C-alpha cells in the first residue's frame, strides 16, 4: 500500500491523494454544493450567460472582495473557472446545472446578478462506487435514504404555501424517494454528489487515496515545496513530489 505509493510518487509516476480522516469528501460532502463560477457550461446550457457577463462578474468580484483579493487572482479564477468545470465534466460523472433565480449574495453590488450565477450538481445514483461509498463523510444530521432535495427545491419549498410551487415540490421530493427505493438506487445530491463524482474520477484515473494520513509538515528545499511529511500509525513518512503539492 503506502510504501509502494510513496516509491511511485517519488519517481514521478503518479498522483497520490493523502486524506487525514477515514472518510472522503470533508466539509464539501456536507455542504449545499453550490458553485459560483461565471460562464461555465451549466449556465451556458441554461442561456444564462450574457455577452458582457465576464466583465460584469469581474466588476462584481472587484466590488465585494477587491480590497482583500488581488486582481490577478480574481481574474485567474474567472478565466480558468469554466475550463475547470469542462475538465470535471469530461473526466467524472459529475454534472452541474443552473439554480434558477438563486441570486448572487450581493445582487445590488456592481455586476451583481439577481437571477444568480449559481450551479449545483445533478443528483446521481452512487452505486458505481461500490464499497467505497461507505467512505463518504457522514452528514451532520441523518437524512432518510434517497431523500433528494436540491438547492432549486429548497428555494421553492422555502416559499412555503405562498405559491403552489412549495407543496408541489414537497410532493415531487417524496415521489423521487419512492421511485429510488423501488429501483434500489443510492441517490445523492448537493455536496455529496460533488464528493462522489470527484471520487469516481480519481478511481477512473487510477489515483490512490490513502486514508488516516494526516500531513504534519511541508518539505522545503531551496525555498521550494518538494513534498510532505505524513504521520501514519505513529510512523513518519516523507512523500516527495516532482511536480508539486496541492493542499
Q: E strands of the chain, at which residues?
A: 17-18, 35-36, 96-98, 118-121, 124-125, 187-188, 209-210, 215-221, 224-232, 235-240
pLDDT in tens, the chain (247 residues): 344 444 444 554 689 999 999 999 999 999 989 999 999 999 999 999 999 999 999 999 999 999 999 999 999 999 999 999 999 999 999 999 999 988 999 999 999 999 999 999 999 999 999 999 999 998 876 665 555 666 666 666 666 666 667 677 677 767 777 766 676 767 898 999 999 999 999 999 999 999 999 999 999 999 999 999 998 888 899 999 988 999 9
C-alpha cell at 66: 477587491
* Rounded Cα gap, residues 152 and 192, in angstroms: 16
Q: Which residues does 66 contact at the CB level (< 8 Å), separation at least 6?
A: 74
Residue partners of 30: CB distance under 8 A and separation at least 6: 137, 139, 140, 191
pTM here?
0.79
Amino acid at each position: 500500500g503506502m510504501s509502494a505509493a510513496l516509491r511511485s510518487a517519488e519517481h514521478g509516476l503518479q498522483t497520490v491523494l493523502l486524506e487525514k480522516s477515514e472518510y472522503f469528501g470533508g466539509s464539501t460532502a456536507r455542504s449545499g454544493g453550490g458553485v459560483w463560477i461565471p460562464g461555465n457550461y451549466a449556465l451556458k446550457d441554461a442561456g444564462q450567460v450574457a455577452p458582457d457577463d465576464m466583465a460584469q462578474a469581474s466588476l462584481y468580484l472587484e466590488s465585494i472582495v477587491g480590497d482583500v483579493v488581488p486582481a490577478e487572482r480574481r481574474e485567474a479564477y474567472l478565466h480558468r473557472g469554466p475550463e475547470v468545470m469542462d475538465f470535471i465534466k469530461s473526466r467524472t460523472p459529475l454534472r452541474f446545472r443552473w439554480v434558477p433565480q438563486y441570486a448572487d449574495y450581493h445582487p445590488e453590488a456592481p455586476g451583481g446578478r439577481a437571477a444568480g450565477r449559481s450551479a449545483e450538481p445533478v443528483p446521481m445514483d452512487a452505486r458505481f462506487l461500490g464499497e467505497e461509498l461507505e467512505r463518504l463523510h457522514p452528514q451532520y444530521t441523518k437524512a432518510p435514504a434517497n431523500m433528494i432535495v436540491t438547492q432549486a427545491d429548497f428555494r421553492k419549498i422555502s416559499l412555503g404555501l405562498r405559491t403552489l410551487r412549495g407543496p408541489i415540490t414537497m410532493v415531487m421530493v417524496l415521489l423521487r424517494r419512492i421511485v429510488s427505493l423501488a429501483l434500489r438506487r443510492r441517490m445523492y445530491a448537493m455536496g455529496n454528489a460533488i464528493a462522489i463524482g470527484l471520487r469516481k474520477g480519481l478511481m477512473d484515473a487510477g489515483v490512490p487515496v490513502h486514508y488516516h494520513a494526516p500531513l504534519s509538515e511541508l518539505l522545503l528545499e531551496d525555498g521550494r515545496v518538494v513534498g510532505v511529511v505524513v504521520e501514519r500509525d505513529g510512523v513518519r513518512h516523507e512523500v516527495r513530489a516532482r511536480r508539486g503539492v496541492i493542499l
